[in-house]
Amino acid sequence: MQHVKYPKQETWGALLKRPTQTVSDIEETVEIIFKEVQKNGDATIRNFTKKFDQVEMESSAVTAEEISIASNDVGAELKEAIILAKNNIETFHKAQKTDRLNVETMDGVLCWQEKKPIQKVGLYIPGGTAPLFSTILMLAIPAKIAGCSDIVLCTPPNKDGKIDSAILYTAQLCGVTQIYKVGGIQAIAGMTFGTESIPKVYKIFGPGNQFVTVAKQLATKHGVAIDMPAGPSELLIVADDSANPSFVASDLLSQAEHGPDSQVVLVSTSKTLLDQVAAEVQSQLEDLPRKDIAKKAIANSKLILMEDDQQALELINSYGPEHFIICSENENFYVENILNAGSVFVGNFTPESAGDYASGTNHTLPTNGYAKQYSGVHLDSFMKSMTFQKISERGILGIGNAIELMAEAEGLQAHKNAVTLRLKSLKS
Protein backbone atom coordinates (compact mmCIF):
# COMPACT_ATOMS: atom_id res chain seq x y z
CA MET A 1 0.00 0.00 0.00
CA GLN A 2 1.32 3.41 -0.92
CA HIS A 3 1.67 5.93 1.93
CA VAL A 4 1.34 9.56 0.86
CA LYS A 5 1.96 12.44 3.25
CA TYR A 6 0.35 15.85 2.79
CA PRO A 7 0.05 15.79 -1.02
CA LYS A 8 -0.10 19.15 -2.77
CA GLN A 9 -3.35 19.91 -4.54
CA GLU A 10 -1.74 19.99 -7.98
CA THR A 11 -0.73 16.33 -7.51
CA TRP A 12 -4.18 15.03 -6.54
CA GLY A 13 -5.24 14.13 -10.07
CA ALA A 14 -2.23 11.91 -10.72
CA LEU A 15 -2.28 10.52 -7.18
CA LEU A 16 -5.89 9.35 -7.43
CA LYS A 17 -5.90 8.24 -11.05
CA ARG A 18 -8.00 5.10 -11.47
CA PRO A 19 -6.12 1.94 -12.51
CA THR A 20 -8.19 1.48 -15.67
CA GLN A 21 -7.54 1.36 -19.37
CA THR A 22 -8.64 4.29 -21.48
CA VAL A 23 -11.65 3.96 -23.76
CA SER A 24 -9.44 4.13 -26.83
CA ASP A 25 -7.58 1.00 -25.67
CA ILE A 26 -10.67 -1.19 -25.88
CA GLU A 27 -13.17 0.70 -28.02
CA GLU A 28 -12.01 -0.99 -31.24
CA THR A 29 -12.74 -4.44 -29.80
CA VAL A 30 -16.17 -3.32 -28.66
CA GLU A 31 -17.07 -1.83 -32.03
CA ILE A 32 -16.05 -4.99 -33.89
CA ILE A 33 -18.31 -7.14 -31.72
CA PHE A 34 -21.19 -4.65 -31.99
CA LYS A 35 -21.02 -4.70 -35.79
CA GLU A 36 -20.94 -8.49 -35.86
CA VAL A 37 -23.94 -8.83 -33.54
CA GLN A 38 -25.88 -6.21 -35.50
CA LYS A 39 -25.21 -8.12 -38.71
CA ASN A 40 -25.50 -11.77 -37.67
CA GLY A 41 -27.48 -11.79 -34.41
CA ASP A 42 -27.59 -15.04 -32.46
CA ALA A 43 -24.87 -16.70 -34.54
CA THR A 44 -22.39 -14.04 -33.43
CA ILE A 45 -23.60 -14.29 -29.84
CA ARG A 46 -22.87 -18.03 -29.88
CA ASN A 47 -19.43 -17.52 -31.40
CA PHE A 48 -18.34 -14.96 -28.85
CA THR A 49 -19.81 -16.98 -25.97
CA LYS A 50 -17.66 -19.89 -27.10
CA LYS A 51 -14.60 -17.62 -27.41
CA PHE A 52 -14.89 -15.71 -24.15
CA ASP A 53 -16.81 -18.11 -21.87
CA GLN A 54 -15.44 -21.39 -23.31
CA VAL A 55 -18.88 -22.92 -23.69
CA GLU A 56 -20.89 -23.84 -26.76
CA MET A 57 -24.67 -23.52 -26.55
CA GLU A 58 -27.47 -23.89 -29.07
CA SER A 59 -29.78 -21.55 -27.17
CA SER A 60 -28.99 -18.80 -24.71
CA ALA A 61 -32.52 -18.55 -23.28
CA VAL A 62 -33.03 -19.88 -19.75
CA THR A 63 -35.96 -22.29 -19.46
CA ALA A 64 -38.61 -22.49 -16.75
CA GLU A 65 -37.23 -25.92 -15.83
CA GLU A 66 -33.76 -24.48 -15.23
CA ILE A 67 -35.24 -21.80 -12.98
CA SER A 68 -37.19 -24.39 -11.00
CA ILE A 69 -34.14 -26.59 -10.48
CA ALA A 70 -32.00 -23.62 -9.47
CA SER A 71 -34.60 -22.42 -6.96
CA ASN A 72 -34.54 -25.81 -5.27
CA ASP A 73 -30.74 -25.69 -5.09
CA VAL A 74 -30.66 -22.46 -3.07
CA GLY A 75 -30.55 -23.12 0.65
CA ALA A 76 -33.30 -21.97 3.01
CA GLU A 77 -31.04 -19.60 4.98
CA LEU A 78 -29.80 -17.85 1.84
CA LYS A 79 -33.38 -17.54 0.59
CA GLU A 80 -34.36 -15.89 3.88
CA ALA A 81 -31.44 -13.47 3.56
CA ILE A 82 -32.39 -12.59 -0.02
CA ILE A 83 -36.02 -12.05 0.98
CA LEU A 84 -34.96 -9.78 3.88
CA ALA A 85 -32.85 -7.72 1.50
CA LYS A 86 -35.69 -7.67 -1.03
CA ASN A 87 -38.11 -6.30 1.55
CA ASN A 88 -35.74 -3.51 2.60
CA ILE A 89 -34.94 -2.55 -0.99
CA GLU A 90 -38.64 -2.53 -1.86
CA THR A 91 -39.44 -0.35 1.15
CA PHE A 92 -36.78 2.23 0.28
CA HIS A 93 -37.62 2.37 -3.42
CA LYS A 94 -41.40 2.44 -2.97
CA ALA A 95 -40.89 5.49 -0.77
CA GLN A 96 -39.39 7.25 -3.79
CA LYS A 97 -42.74 7.29 -5.63
CA THR A 98 -44.15 10.76 -6.27
CA ASP A 99 -47.65 11.94 -7.09
CA ARG A 100 -48.68 13.71 -10.27
CA LEU A 101 -47.62 17.36 -10.19
CA ASN A 102 -50.41 19.81 -11.14
CA VAL A 103 -49.83 23.52 -11.63
CA GLU A 104 -52.15 26.18 -13.06
CA THR A 105 -49.49 28.62 -14.28
CA MET A 106 -52.15 31.26 -14.99
CA ASP A 107 -55.90 31.34 -15.21
CA GLY A 108 -57.00 28.70 -17.71
CA VAL A 109 -53.50 27.27 -18.35
CA LEU A 110 -53.13 23.91 -16.62
CA CYS A 111 -49.78 22.09 -16.75
CA TRP A 112 -48.98 18.76 -15.17
CA GLN A 113 -46.22 16.19 -15.02
CA GLU A 114 -46.61 12.43 -14.83
CA LYS A 115 -44.00 9.69 -14.61
CA LYS A 116 -44.31 6.71 -16.93
CA PRO A 117 -42.32 3.48 -16.83
CA ILE A 118 -39.71 2.66 -19.43
CA GLN A 119 -41.37 -0.29 -21.11
CA LYS A 120 -38.34 -2.42 -22.00
CA VAL A 121 -35.25 -2.50 -19.80
CA GLY A 122 -32.16 -4.69 -19.93
CA LEU A 123 -30.24 -5.75 -16.83
CA TYR A 124 -26.62 -6.82 -17.08
CA ILE A 125 -25.49 -9.00 -14.17
CA PRO A 126 -21.78 -9.84 -13.92
CA GLY A 127 -20.92 -13.49 -13.40
CA GLY A 128 -17.43 -14.89 -13.55
CA THR A 129 -15.59 -15.29 -10.26
CA ALA A 130 -18.34 -13.53 -8.27
CA PRO A 131 -21.91 -14.04 -9.54
CA LEU A 132 -23.58 -10.85 -8.32
CA PHE A 133 -27.14 -11.97 -7.63
CA SER A 134 -27.45 -8.98 -5.27
CA THR A 135 -27.36 -6.68 -8.32
CA ILE A 136 -30.59 -8.29 -9.52
CA LEU A 137 -32.28 -7.09 -6.34
CA MET A 138 -30.96 -3.58 -6.97
CA LEU A 139 -32.20 -3.44 -10.56
CA ALA A 140 -35.21 -5.73 -10.94
CA ILE A 141 -36.99 -4.49 -7.81
CA PRO A 142 -37.19 -0.80 -8.82
CA ALA A 143 -37.95 -1.87 -12.42
CA LYS A 144 -40.93 -3.84 -11.15
CA ILE A 145 -42.09 -1.04 -8.84
CA ALA A 146 -41.81 1.44 -11.72
CA GLY A 147 -44.03 -0.78 -13.87
CA CYS A 148 -41.58 -1.80 -16.61
CA SER A 149 -43.36 -4.44 -18.70
CA ASP A 150 -40.29 -6.23 -20.13
CA ILE A 151 -37.35 -6.87 -17.79
CA VAL A 152 -34.62 -8.69 -19.72
CA LEU A 153 -31.59 -10.09 -17.89
CA CYS A 154 -28.27 -11.13 -19.41
CA THR A 155 -25.52 -12.81 -17.44
CA PRO A 156 -22.55 -14.95 -18.55
CA PRO A 157 -22.73 -18.74 -18.25
CA ASN A 158 -20.09 -20.87 -16.58
CA LYS A 159 -18.07 -23.43 -18.53
CA ASP A 160 -20.89 -25.94 -18.10
CA GLY A 161 -23.32 -23.57 -19.78
CA LYS A 162 -25.16 -22.88 -16.54
CA ILE A 163 -25.98 -19.82 -14.46
CA ASP A 164 -25.47 -19.61 -10.72
CA SER A 165 -28.57 -20.88 -8.91
CA ALA A 166 -28.84 -17.80 -6.68
CA ILE A 167 -28.97 -15.58 -9.78
CA LEU A 168 -31.86 -17.56 -11.27
CA TYR A 169 -33.74 -17.77 -7.97
CA THR A 170 -33.38 -14.03 -7.33
CA ALA A 171 -34.38 -13.16 -10.90
CA GLN A 172 -37.67 -15.06 -10.74
CA LEU A 173 -38.34 -13.76 -7.22
CA CYS A 174 -38.00 -10.15 -8.41
CA GLY A 175 -40.10 -10.42 -11.55
CA VAL A 176 -37.52 -10.66 -14.34
CA THR A 177 -39.42 -11.65 -17.49
CA GLN A 178 -36.64 -13.14 -19.64
CA ILE A 179 -33.16 -14.46 -18.82
CA TYR A 180 -30.29 -15.14 -21.23
CA LYS A 181 -26.93 -16.86 -20.76
CA VAL A 182 -24.93 -14.14 -22.45
CA GLY A 183 -22.18 -12.00 -20.99
CA GLY A 184 -19.76 -9.23 -21.80
CA ILE A 185 -19.80 -7.02 -24.85
CA GLN A 186 -22.00 -9.41 -26.81
CA ALA A 187 -24.74 -9.19 -24.16
CA ILE A 188 -24.83 -5.39 -24.35
CA ALA A 189 -24.82 -5.57 -28.15
CA GLY A 190 -27.65 -8.11 -28.14
CA MET A 191 -29.86 -5.90 -25.99
CA THR A 192 -28.90 -2.86 -28.08
CA PHE A 193 -29.85 -4.23 -31.49
CA GLY A 194 -32.03 -7.22 -30.66
CA THR A 195 -31.36 -10.67 -32.12
CA GLU A 196 -33.54 -13.61 -33.13
CA SER A 197 -33.89 -14.48 -29.44
CA ILE A 198 -32.75 -11.50 -27.35
CA PRO A 199 -35.17 -8.54 -27.48
CA LYS A 200 -34.04 -4.99 -28.08
CA VAL A 201 -34.48 -2.80 -24.99
CA TYR A 202 -34.80 0.93 -24.44
CA LYS A 203 -32.38 1.27 -21.52
CA ILE A 204 -29.56 -0.90 -20.15
CA PHE A 205 -28.61 -1.11 -16.49
CA GLY A 206 -25.88 -2.81 -14.53
CA PRO A 207 -22.18 -2.80 -13.69
CA GLY A 208 -19.42 -4.69 -15.40
CA ASN A 209 -15.76 -4.64 -16.32
CA GLN A 210 -14.19 -1.99 -18.52
CA PHE A 211 -15.32 -3.74 -21.70
CA VAL A 212 -18.93 -3.76 -20.54
CA THR A 213 -18.67 -0.11 -19.52
CA VAL A 214 -17.41 0.92 -22.95
CA ALA A 215 -20.05 -1.29 -24.61
CA LYS A 216 -22.78 0.51 -22.68
CA GLN A 217 -21.39 3.87 -23.75
CA LEU A 218 -21.34 2.68 -27.38
CA ALA A 219 -24.96 1.54 -27.03
CA THR A 220 -25.98 5.16 -26.54
CA LYS A 221 -24.85 5.87 -30.10
CA HIS A 222 -27.51 3.42 -31.28
CA GLY A 223 -30.49 4.95 -29.50
CA VAL A 224 -30.32 2.97 -26.26
CA ALA A 225 -30.08 4.79 -22.93
CA ILE A 226 -27.91 3.56 -20.04
CA ASP A 227 -28.03 4.05 -16.30
CA MET A 228 -24.52 5.48 -15.99
CA PRO A 229 -20.89 4.57 -16.66
CA ALA A 230 -20.38 1.88 -14.02
CA GLY A 231 -17.01 0.17 -14.14
CA PRO A 232 -14.62 -1.37 -11.60
CA SER A 233 -15.61 -0.86 -7.98
CA GLU A 234 -13.98 1.77 -5.77
CA LEU A 235 -14.09 2.91 -2.17
CA LEU A 236 -12.75 5.90 -0.27
CA ILE A 237 -12.77 6.03 3.51
CA VAL A 238 -12.12 9.08 5.66
CA ALA A 239 -11.21 8.11 9.21
CA ASP A 240 -9.51 9.47 12.31
CA ASP A 241 -8.49 8.08 15.69
CA SER A 242 -12.14 7.49 16.59
CA ALA A 243 -12.30 4.75 13.94
CA ASN A 244 -11.73 1.06 14.55
CA PRO A 245 -8.66 0.10 12.44
CA SER A 246 -9.85 -3.49 11.92
CA PHE A 247 -13.23 -2.27 10.67
CA VAL A 248 -11.56 0.17 8.27
CA ALA A 249 -9.22 -2.52 6.96
CA SER A 250 -12.12 -4.92 6.40
CA ASP A 251 -13.98 -2.30 4.40
CA LEU A 252 -10.95 -1.62 2.21
CA LEU A 253 -10.57 -5.33 1.53
CA SER A 254 -14.28 -5.78 0.84
CA GLN A 255 -13.87 -3.64 -2.25
CA ALA A 256 -10.39 -4.86 -3.15
CA GLU A 257 -11.68 -8.41 -3.54
CA HIS A 258 -14.04 -7.35 -6.33
CA GLY A 259 -11.25 -7.33 -8.87
CA PRO A 260 -7.62 -6.41 -9.55
CA ASP A 261 -8.72 -3.13 -11.13
CA SER A 262 -10.74 -2.05 -8.08
CA GLN A 263 -9.38 0.95 -6.18
CA VAL A 264 -9.46 1.61 -2.44
CA VAL A 265 -8.27 4.77 -0.72
CA LEU A 266 -7.97 5.74 2.94
CA VAL A 267 -7.75 9.42 3.84
CA SER A 268 -6.92 10.45 7.40
CA THR A 269 -5.55 13.22 9.57
CA SER A 270 -3.93 10.59 11.80
CA LYS A 271 -0.66 8.89 10.86
CA THR A 272 -1.18 6.46 13.72
CA LEU A 273 -4.47 5.26 12.23
CA LEU A 274 -2.95 4.87 8.77
CA ASP A 275 -0.20 2.66 10.17
CA GLN A 276 -2.66 0.60 12.19
CA VAL A 277 -4.93 0.06 9.19
CA ALA A 278 -2.01 -0.91 6.95
CA ALA A 279 -1.03 -3.61 9.45
CA GLU A 280 -4.63 -4.84 9.73
CA VAL A 281 -4.98 -5.05 5.95
CA GLN A 282 -1.95 -7.33 5.69
CA SER A 283 -3.21 -9.49 8.54
CA GLN A 284 -6.77 -9.87 7.25
CA LEU A 285 -5.66 -10.30 3.66
CA GLU A 286 -4.02 -13.64 4.32
CA ASP A 287 -7.31 -15.24 5.38
CA LEU A 288 -9.31 -14.23 2.30
CA PRO A 289 -10.20 -16.87 -0.31
CA ARG A 290 -9.83 -14.15 -2.97
CA LYS A 291 -6.56 -12.81 -1.57
CA ASP A 292 -4.74 -13.05 -4.92
CA ILE A 293 -7.30 -10.72 -6.48
CA ALA A 294 -7.37 -8.42 -3.46
CA LYS A 295 -3.56 -8.16 -3.38
CA LYS A 296 -3.50 -6.73 -6.89
CA ALA A 297 -6.07 -4.09 -5.97
CA ILE A 298 -4.30 -3.30 -2.70
CA ALA A 299 -1.09 -2.71 -4.65
CA ASN A 300 -2.88 0.24 -6.29
CA SER A 301 -4.35 1.49 -3.02
CA LYS A 302 -3.40 4.71 -1.28
CA LEU A 303 -3.09 5.71 2.37
CA ILE A 304 -3.17 9.50 2.35
CA LEU A 305 -2.32 11.71 5.33
CA MET A 306 -4.00 15.13 5.21
CA GLU A 307 -3.43 18.16 7.42
CA ASP A 308 -7.06 18.75 8.43
CA ASP A 309 -10.68 17.83 7.67
CA GLN A 310 -11.23 20.73 5.29
CA GLN A 311 -8.34 19.72 3.05
CA ALA A 312 -9.42 16.09 3.24
CA LEU A 313 -12.93 17.02 2.12
CA GLU A 314 -11.60 19.00 -0.83
CA LEU A 315 -9.57 15.99 -1.97
CA ILE A 316 -12.57 13.67 -1.60
CA ASN A 317 -14.88 15.96 -3.59
CA SER A 318 -12.26 16.23 -6.34
CA TYR A 319 -12.07 12.42 -6.50
CA GLY A 320 -15.83 11.70 -6.43
CA PRO A 321 -15.80 8.15 -5.02
CA GLU A 322 -18.38 5.51 -5.84
CA HIS A 323 -18.56 4.50 -2.16
CA PHE A 324 -17.63 6.88 0.65
CA ILE A 325 -17.33 5.78 4.29
CA ILE A 326 -17.13 8.34 7.11
CA CYS A 327 -15.58 7.19 10.40
CA SER A 328 -14.75 10.49 12.04
CA GLU A 329 -15.55 12.42 15.19
CA ASN A 330 -16.36 15.23 12.78
CA GLU A 331 -18.84 13.14 10.80
CA ASN A 332 -21.44 15.92 10.52
CA PHE A 333 -18.90 18.09 8.71
CA TYR A 334 -18.43 15.43 6.04
CA VAL A 335 -22.12 14.51 5.82
CA GLU A 336 -23.15 18.12 5.32
CA ASN A 337 -20.39 19.08 2.89
CA ILE A 338 -19.79 16.04 0.70
CA LEU A 339 -20.83 16.95 -2.85
CA ASN A 340 -19.49 14.15 -5.03
CA ALA A 341 -20.10 10.54 -4.00
CA GLY A 342 -22.28 7.71 -5.23
CA SER A 343 -23.36 6.44 -1.81
CA VAL A 344 -22.28 7.50 1.69
CA PHE A 345 -21.89 5.25 4.74
CA VAL A 346 -21.78 7.00 8.11
CA GLY A 347 -20.28 5.67 11.33
CA ASN A 348 -18.19 2.77 12.59
CA PHE A 349 -21.06 0.30 12.33
CA THR A 350 -22.09 1.11 8.76
CA PRO A 351 -20.00 -1.11 6.49
CA GLU A 352 -20.18 -0.60 2.75
CA SER A 353 -21.34 -4.23 2.55
CA ALA A 354 -24.67 -3.17 4.06
CA GLY A 355 -25.42 -1.04 1.02
CA ASP A 356 -24.19 -3.78 -1.29
CA TYR A 357 -26.77 -6.19 0.04
CA ALA A 358 -29.52 -5.44 2.44
CA SER A 359 -29.90 -1.97 3.99
CA GLY A 360 -32.25 -0.83 1.22
CA THR A 361 -30.24 1.70 -0.75
CA ASN A 362 -29.13 0.88 -4.28
CA HIS A 363 -25.61 -0.36 -4.96
CA THR A 364 -25.51 0.41 -8.70
CA LEU A 365 -23.43 3.57 -8.56
CA PRO A 366 -21.27 5.82 -10.74
CA THR A 367 -17.56 5.05 -10.76
CA ASN A 368 -14.42 6.60 -12.26
CA GLY A 369 -15.33 10.08 -10.98
CA TYR A 370 -18.77 10.13 -12.61
CA ALA A 371 -20.30 10.74 -9.18
CA LYS A 372 -19.60 14.40 -9.95
CA GLN A 373 -22.44 14.41 -12.49
CA TYR A 374 -24.38 11.12 -12.21
CA SER A 375 -26.69 9.73 -9.55
CA GLY A 376 -26.80 6.10 -8.55
CA VAL A 377 -29.73 3.98 -9.69
CA HIS A 378 -33.06 4.86 -8.04
CA LEU A 379 -36.75 4.44 -8.86
CA ASP A 380 -36.84 7.32 -11.34
CA SER A 381 -34.02 5.65 -13.29
CA PHE A 382 -36.68 3.27 -14.61
CA MET A 383 -39.17 6.01 -15.44
CA LYS A 384 -39.42 9.07 -17.62
CA SER A 385 -41.30 12.27 -16.91
CA MET A 386 -43.95 13.42 -19.36
CA THR A 387 -45.46 16.88 -19.28
CA PHE A 388 -49.06 17.69 -20.21
CA GLN A 389 -50.95 20.92 -20.68
CA LYS A 390 -54.55 21.88 -21.24
CA ILE A 391 -55.55 25.45 -22.12
CA SER A 392 -59.10 26.72 -21.89
CA GLU A 393 -60.65 29.53 -23.93
CA ARG A 394 -59.94 31.90 -21.06
CA GLY A 395 -56.38 30.60 -20.95
CA ILE A 396 -55.59 31.13 -24.65
CA LEU A 397 -56.99 34.67 -24.40
CA GLY A 398 -54.63 35.35 -21.52
CA ILE A 399 -51.48 33.80 -22.99
CA GLY A 400 -52.11 34.12 -26.72
CA ASN A 401 -50.74 37.60 -27.38
CA ALA A 402 -47.44 36.78 -25.65
CA ILE A 403 -47.04 33.68 -27.84
CA GLU A 404 -47.76 35.70 -31.00
CA LEU A 405 -45.18 38.35 -30.13
CA MET A 406 -42.48 35.81 -29.26
CA ALA A 407 -43.11 33.68 -32.38
CA GLU A 408 -43.00 36.73 -34.63
CA ALA A 409 -39.74 37.89 -33.02
CA GLU A 410 -38.19 34.52 -33.86
CA GLY A 411 -39.49 34.66 -37.43
CA LEU A 412 -41.77 31.63 -37.02
CA GLN A 413 -44.98 32.82 -38.64
CA ALA A 414 -46.74 29.45 -38.59
CA HIS A 415 -46.27 29.32 -34.83
CA LYS A 416 -47.92 32.72 -34.56
CA ASN A 417 -50.76 31.73 -36.90
CA ALA A 418 -51.60 28.67 -34.76
CA VAL A 419 -52.51 31.10 -31.98
CA THR A 420 -53.93 33.92 -34.09
CA LEU A 421 -56.54 31.63 -35.69
CA ARG A 422 -57.74 30.50 -32.28
CA LEU A 423 -57.95 34.04 -30.95
CA LYS A 424 -59.93 35.17 -33.99
CA SER A 425 -62.37 32.27 -33.58
CA LEU A 426 -63.12 33.42 -30.04
CA LYS A 427 -63.62 37.03 -31.03
CA SER A 428 -65.91 36.34 -33.99
Which are the catalytic amino acids? 322-323
For residues 346 and 335, the answer to whether their CB atoms sit within 8 Å is yes
The answer to whether the annotation marks 415 as part of a ligand binding site is yes
Element (H, E) at 103: strand 101-106
Any known ligand binding at 356?
Answer: yes
Instruction: Determine if residue 209 is labeled as part of a ligand binding site.
Output: yes
Residue 93 annotated as part of some ligand binding site: no
* 265 within 8 A of 15, measured Cβ to Cβ: no
Phi, psi at 113, each rounded to 5°: -125, 135
Q: Is 3 annotated as a binding residue?
A: no
Contact 33, 48 (CB under 8 A): yes
- For 2-15, give the DSSP string: EEEES--GGGHHHH
Q: Give how far Cα 184 sits from Cα of 151, 199, 363, Å.
A: 18, 16, 20
SS (H, E, C) 175-214: CCCEEEECCHHHHHHHHHHCCCCCCCCCEEECCCCHHHHH
Spatial contact of 371 and 340, defined as CB atoms under 8 Å apart: yes
233 labelled ligand-binding: yes
Selection from 285, 284, 283 nearest residue 295 by Cα: 285
Eight-class DSSP state of 334: H
Cα–Cα dist 227/370, whole Å: 12
Instruction: Say whether 258 counts as a known binding-site residue.
Output: yes
186 is in an annotated binding site: yes
- H/E segment holding residue 323: strand 323-327
Rounded to 5°, angle at Cα 188 from 186 and 192: 110
255 is in an annotated binding site: yes
Q: How many helices (H) and strands (E) does the chain have?
A: 17, 14
Annotated binding site for Zn(2+): 255, 258, 356, 415
Annotated binding site: 124, 186, 209, 233, 255, 258, 323, 356, 410, 415
Annotated binding site for substrate: 233, 255, 258, 323, 356, 410, 415
Annotated binding site for NAD(+): 124, 186, 209
